[in-house]
Structure 1
Amino acid sequence: MNSKLKMMIGVVAILLVGGGAAGGAMWWMKSQEAAPGAQSTAKAAPKKEKSGEPVKYVTLDKVIVMLKRGPNEATTHYLSTDLVLATDAKGEKPTKEHLPLLRAIAVRSLSGYTLAQASTMTVEQVAALLNKTFDANYASEEREKPFGEVMIGKLIVE
Structure 2
Amino acid sequence: MKLKTKLLIGGVALALLAGAGGGWWWWTSHTTPTDAAARARKAVDYKYVSLDKVLVMLRGEQGQAVPHYMAIDIVFKAEPRDEARAKEHLPLLRTVAVKALSVNTLQTATAMSIDQVAQALNRAYVQSYEADGRKPPFAEALVGRMIIE
User: Fold conserved (TM > 0.5)?
Assistant: yes
Q: Select which of 126, 132, 141 maps to 1:135.
A: 126
Q: Tell me, what secondary structure is at the counterpart of 2:59? A: coil
Q: Under a length normalisation based on structure 1, what TM-score does the superposition of the two structures give?
A: 0.65
Separation in 1, partners of 2:121, 2:68: 20
Paired residue for 1:92, among 83, 95, 102? 83
Structure 1 residue 108 corresponds to structure 2 residue 99: yes
- Residue 68 of structure 1 deviates from its aligned partner by 1.3
Say which of 107, 130, 146 aligns to 1:155. Answer: 146
2:132 equivalent to 1:124: no
Contact 1:86 1:150 in 2 (8 A): yes
Q: Deviations over 1:28-57 (max 9, x none)?
A: xxxxxxxxxxxxxxxxxxxxxx75331100
Q: Is the 8 A contact 2:54 2:94 kept in 1?
A: yes
What is the TM-score when the length of structure 2 is the normalising length? 0.69
Segments of structure 2 that go 5 or more residues without pairing to the other structure are 1-40
Give yes or no for contact 2:58–2:65 (8 Å, CA) kept in 1: no
Count the aligned residue pairs: 109
Identity, % of aligned positions: 41
Task: Tell me what 1:54 maps to.
Answer: 45
Gaps of 5+ in 1: 1-49
* Secondary structure of 2:67 counterpart: coil
1:145 aligns with 2:131: no
Higher strand share: 2
Note the 1:9-88 alignment, pairs <5 A: 51-71=42-62, 75-88=66-79
Given that 2:59 and 2:65 are in contact with CA atoms closer than 8 Å, whether structure 1 keeps it comes out as no
Distance 1:95 1:51, change over 3 A: farther
Shift of 1:72: 9.5
Deviation at 1:135, TM superposition (A): 0.5
The 2-side partners of 1:102 and 1:73 are apart by 25
- Match of 1:130, SS state, is helix
What is the match of residue 24 of structure 1? none
Question: Greater shift after overlay, 66-75 or 104-113?
Answer: 66-75
Shift of 1:115: 0.1
CA RMSD of aligned residues (A): 1.8
Offset at residue 116 of structure 1 (A): 0.4
